[in-house]
């Protein structure tokens, strides 16, 4: 076995991250969907032969980073290593094993060396349409579209026509989705070639020893940061607008030496509305919060999360049972980092941030182009960022997700909607020693000759983003059609000429405001 020095580990790790970044670039540049190329709603990761993740592309959605290794584990139960051959690609979008909703397709490609699996390259990408009738009315997961069970979409280098046919027949925009899927195949081939070269250049047989060492060191680093937090039990809870009635997430963080247990007992029971966060997604965003708090600089890998255990009662909104609907699971999952932050705020006040204007806001527009072709288009818009000790929150920043917005000019050039405003709402950030970031107002006019269907599912309309440690709340969000407030979750018909307006929530403030100056909106206006 190769003994790896600190110097060699650093060099290999760098080289492998570079290789996965390249693959991420290739995917983004050749993708056909706006969500991948403009919003970067994707991730590419590398696992060792045991499925342990230690590298992912720089442009990666945090939740996907967390779910990829778990999805791979499920895939390998269906197709154990002895059933895999070079050139295979596995696919699935099962929400309970994947990222929590059908729209994210996870794929994995084994990499062989001397007829032995030495690594897996995995990727996740959002697809805007997954068939079915995804809606806020869905009562179970079957209504939400096509479930792709773990299958081989490519067998030994040859595309599996049956899987492709299922996709083609069930999706509204199969060209876009399949275009993206094939773009990922190119990325895998690139990783495979480069990885083999790196290993042979350095005379290494497999990655496992390297990954052992990376995980061991990352775990130690995380443990030493946790040890600095006083032992104890820290609790908080957060209210969700929910659908018919408000929902609640209860969070207890137990710190014991270098271990952390997070317990979501007491959270609301699962509901027959698409807001439930599957366990994978819950684990992913909980881990993400601790990574941000305790060891943001270490490149992400599974070792960092060994000291953390997460309990979520089965049958709750943070660990639902099949077939609870999950399409908008981010409406629940995006509350996990803020509730962990607020629980720990009293002991680590200088590390946390106040609530951001999230869960992520977005809108689906569906209709027909002037030439009759159907379109379905998503638009993302973020709220204000929470304040932290030492700085006001930034306006309109994605958190805890990391989804970029699309250019208005590019958007308008593809769909018959005109954007008539995109501006900050300076008053919307929460007051405080440090102010929350401003949310924004966006308006869209339907300029098509026929109606456009619009679907929204927005939170923080009843319960605004909370201030922290004495800081004020951010302003809640609002949705309006032609100036009249509408419900934040629903499907609406926009007639020609109708104007829909979205006001994203402002971020929470942090600390008590000490004087008028700090609390004045002028501070935001500069």
Partner 1 sequence: MKEKYRIGVDIGGTFTDFVMIDVETSRLLKEKLLTTPKDPSIAVLDGIGRMLRAHGVSPREVIHVIHGTTLVANAIIERKGVKTALVTTRGFRDVLEIGLEWRYDTYDLAMVLPQPLVPRALRFEATERIGPDGKVIKPLDENSLDAVVTELRRSQVSAVGISLLNGFLNPAHEARIQKLLAARLPNIVICTSSDVVPEIGEYERCSTTVANAYVLPLFDNYLRGLRGGLDRVGIRKDLYLMLSDGGTVHESTAIRHPIRLVQSGPAGGVQAATIYGQDAGADYVFCFDMGGTTAKACLIDEGEPARATEFEVARVARMKKGSGIPLRIPVIDMIEIGAGGGSIARLDRLGLIQVGPDSAGADPGPACYGLGGEFLTVTDADLVLGYLDARSFLGGDMQLDAGAARSAIERHIGGPLGISIQEAAWGIHDTVNENMARAASIHALEKAKRISDYAMVPIGGAGPVHACHIAMKLGLSRVVVPVGAGVASAFGFLAAPTAFSFVRGRVEPLDTLSSRAVTRLLAELESEGRGLLAVAGTAARVAISIQAAMRYAGQGYEVDVGLDRAWIEASDKVRIRAAFEAEYQRLFGRTEPAMQVEIVSWRLTASGPRPKLDLKLANAGFSSKGGASLKGTRAVYDAVSGSFVATAVHDRYAIAPGAAFDGPLIIEERESTVVVPRSATVRCNDSYNLIIDMPLTAT
Work out whether 309 is an interface residue with partner 1 (CB under 8 A). no
Neighbours of 253 (CB within 10 A): 24
Tell me the C-alpha distance between 381 and 363, whole Å: 8
Query: What b/e readout covers 434-465, taking b as 16+ CB neighbours within 10 angstroms?
Result: bbbbbbbbbbbbbebeeebebbbbbbbbebbb
Tell me the C-alpha distance between 448 and 414, whole Å: 12
Restricted to residues 36-55, the positions that interact with partner 1 (CB under 8 A) are: 37-38, 40
Tell me the C-alpha distance between 54 and 47, whole Å: 6
Kindly state the smallest distance separating residue 118's Cβ from partner 1, in Å: 20
Among candidate residues 269, 371, 267, the one with its CA nearest the CA of residue 310: 267
Work out whether 5 is an interface residue with partner 1 (CB under 8 A). yes
Q: Which of 300, 366, 428, 501 binds partner 1 (CB under 8 A)?
A: 300
Closer Cβ to partner 1, 14 or 520, answer by number: 14
Tell me the per-residue interface mask from 218 to 257 with partner 1, x by CB under 8 A, - otherwise. x-xx--x---------------------------------
Restricted to residues 134-153, the positions that interact with partner 1 (CB under 8 A) are: none
Closer Cβ to partner 1, 108 or 293, answer by number: 293
Binding residues with partner 1: total (CB under 8 A): 86
Q: Which of 186, 258, 259, 309 binds partner 1 (CB under 8 A)?
A: 186
Kindly state the smallest distance separating residue 373's Cβ from partner 1, in Å: 11
Applying CB under 8 A, which part among 76-84, 126-134, 272-280, 384-392 lies near partner 1?
Answer: 384-392
Kindly state the smallest distance separating residue 281's Cβ from partner 1, in Å: 17
Restricted to residues 497-526, the positions that interact with partner 1 (CB under 8 A) are: 525-526
Tell me the per-residue interface mask from 327 to 356 with partner 1, x by CB under 8 A, - otherwise. ------------------------xxx---
Applying CB under 8 A, which part among 145-153, 230-238, 276-284, 408-416 lies near partner 1?
Answer: 408-416
Kindly state the smallest distance separating residue 260's Cβ from partner 1, in Å: 17
Work out whether 426 is an interface residue with partner 1 (CB under 8 A). yes
Work out whether 18 is an interface residue with partner 1 (CB under 8 A). yes
Work out whether 25 is an interface residue with partner 1 (CB under 8 A). yes
Closer Cβ to partner 1, 82 or 350, answer by number: 350
Residue 388 DSSP label: B
* φ and ψ at residue 40, rounded to 5 degrees: 55, 40
Kindly state the smallest distance separating residue 4's Cβ from partner 1, in Å: 10
Closer Cβ to partner 1, 19 or 108, answer by number: 19
Q: What residues does 367 pair with on adjacent strands?
A: 375
Query: What b/e readout covers 348-384, taking b as 16+ CB neighbours within 10 angstroms?
Result: beebbbbbbbbbbbbbbbbbeeeeeeebbbbbbbbbb
Q: Burial of 324 by CB count in 10 Å (0-12 exposed, 13-18 middle, 19+ buried)?
A: buried
Q: Which of 69, 395, 465, 506 binds partner 1 (CB under 8 A)?
A: 395
Closer Cβ to partner 1, 5 or 82, answer by number: 5
Q: Is 30 helix (H, G, I), strand (E, B) or coil?
A: helix
Q: Which of 114, 201, 244, 371 binds partner 1 (CB under 8 A)?
A: 201
Closer Cβ to partner 1, 264 or 380, answer by number: 380
Restricted to residues 150-179, the positions that interact with partner 1 (CB under 8 A) are: 175-176, 179
Cβ–Cβ < 8 Å for 457, 331: yes
Q: Which of 423, 453, 514, 520 binds partner 1 (CB under 8 A)?
A: 423
For 79, the token pair is 């197709």
Tell me the C-alpha distance between 509 and 138, whole Å: 35
Restricted to residues 44-103, the positions that interact with partner 1 (CB under 8 A) are: 58, 60, 62
Cβ–Cβ < 8 Å for 462, 487: no
Q: Which of 232, 257, 296, 487 binds partner 1 (CB under 8 A)?
A: 296
DSSP string, 64-116: HHHHHHHHHHHHHHHS-GGG--TT-EEEE--TTTTTSSTTEEEEEEEEEETTE
Cβ–Cβ < 8 Å for 63, 285: yes
Restricted to residues 438-497, the positions that interact with partner 1 (CB under 8 A) are: 440, 443
Tell me the C-alpha distance between 505 and 4, whole Å: 49
Q: Specify the pairing of strand 308-311 against strand 259-263.
A: parallel
Q: Which of 287, 366, 382, 428 binds partner 1 (CB under 8 A)?
A: 382
Closer Cβ to partner 1, 129 or 144, answer by number: 129
Cβ–Cβ < 8 Å for 357, 476: no
- Looking from the CA of 89 toward its CB, the CA atoms found within 13 Å total 26
Work out whether 31 is an interface residue with partner 1 (CB under 8 A). yes
Kindly state the smallest distance separating residue 296's Cβ from partner 1, in Å: 4
Q: Which of 30, 50, 151, 170 binds partner 1 (CB under 8 A)?
A: 30
Kindly state the smallest distance separating residue 66's Cβ from partner 1, in Å: 12
Kindly state the smallest distance separating residue 289's Cβ from partner 1, in Å: 10
Helices (H), 345-430: 408-412
Closer Cβ to partner 1, 117 or 293, answer by number: 293
Work out whether 403 is an interface residue with partner 1 (CB under 8 A). yes
Cα separations in angstroms, 397 against 76, 455, 506, 516: 37, 22, 10, 26
């Amino acid at each position: 076995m190769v003994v790896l020095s600190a110097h060699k580990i650093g060099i290999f790790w760098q080289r492998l991250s570079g290789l996965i970044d390249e693959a991420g670039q290739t995917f983004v540049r050749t993708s056909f969907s706006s969500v991948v190329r403009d919003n970067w709603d994707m991730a590419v990761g590398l696992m060792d032969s045991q499925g342990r993740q230690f590298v992912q592309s720089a442009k990666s959605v945090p939740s996907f980073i967390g779910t990829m290794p778990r999805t791979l584990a499920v895939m390998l139960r269906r197709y154990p290593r002895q059933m895999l051959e070079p050139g295979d690609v596995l696919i699935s979008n099962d929400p309970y094993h994947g990222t929590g909703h059908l729209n994210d397709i996870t794929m994995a490609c084994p990499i062989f060396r001397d007829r032995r699996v030495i690594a897996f390259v995995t990727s996740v990408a959002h697809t805007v349409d997954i068939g079915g009738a995804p809606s806020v009315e869905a009562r179970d997961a079957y209504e939400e579209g096509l479930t792709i069970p773990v299958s081989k979409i490519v067998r030994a280098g040859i595309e599996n026509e049956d899987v492709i046919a299922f996709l083609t027949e069930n999706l509204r925009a199969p060209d876009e989705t399949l275009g993206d899927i094939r773009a990922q195949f190119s990325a895998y081939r690139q990783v495979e070639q480069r990885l083999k070269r790196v290993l042979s250049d350095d005379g290494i047989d497999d990655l496992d020893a390297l990954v052992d060492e990376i995980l061991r060191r990352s775990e130690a680093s995380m443990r030493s940061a946790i040890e600095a937090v006083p032992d104890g039990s820290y609790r908080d809870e957060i209210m969700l607008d929910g659908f018919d009635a408000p929902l609640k997430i209860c969070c207890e963080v137990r710190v014991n030496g270098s271990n952390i247990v997070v317990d979501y007992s007491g959270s609301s029971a699962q509901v027959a509305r698409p807001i439930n966060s599957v366990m994978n997604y819950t684990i992913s965003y909980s881990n993400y919060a601790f990574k941000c708090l305790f060891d943001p600089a270490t490149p992400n890998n599974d070792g960092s999360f060994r000291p953390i255990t997460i309990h979520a009662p089965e049958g709750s909104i943070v660990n639902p049972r099949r077939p609870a609907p999950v399409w908008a699971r981010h409406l629940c999952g995006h509350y996990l980092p803020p509730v962990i932050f607020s629980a720990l705020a009293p002991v680590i006040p200088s590390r946390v941030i106040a609530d951001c204007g999230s869960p992520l806001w977005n809108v689906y527009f569906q209709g027909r182009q002037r030439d009759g072709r159907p379109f379905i288009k998503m638009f993302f818009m973020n709220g204000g960022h929470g304040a932290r000790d030492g700085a006001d929150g930034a306006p309109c920043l994605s958190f805890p997700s990391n989804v970029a917005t699309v250019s208005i000019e590019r958007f308008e050039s593809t769909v018959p909607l005109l954007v008539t405003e995109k501006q900050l709402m300076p008053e919307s950030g929460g007051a405080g020693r440090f102010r929350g970031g401003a949310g924004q107002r966006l308006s869209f006019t339907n300029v098509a000759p026929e109606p456009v269907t619009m679907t929204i599912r927005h939170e923080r309309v009843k319960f605004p983003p909370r201030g922290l440690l004495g800081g004020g709340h951010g302003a809640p969000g609002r949705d309006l059609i032609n100036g009249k407030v509408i419900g934040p979750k629903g499907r609406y018909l926009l007639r020609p000429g109708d104007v829909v307006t979205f006001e994203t929530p402002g971020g929470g403030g942090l600390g008590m405001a000490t004087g008028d100056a700090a609390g004045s909106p002028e501070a935001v206006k500069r």
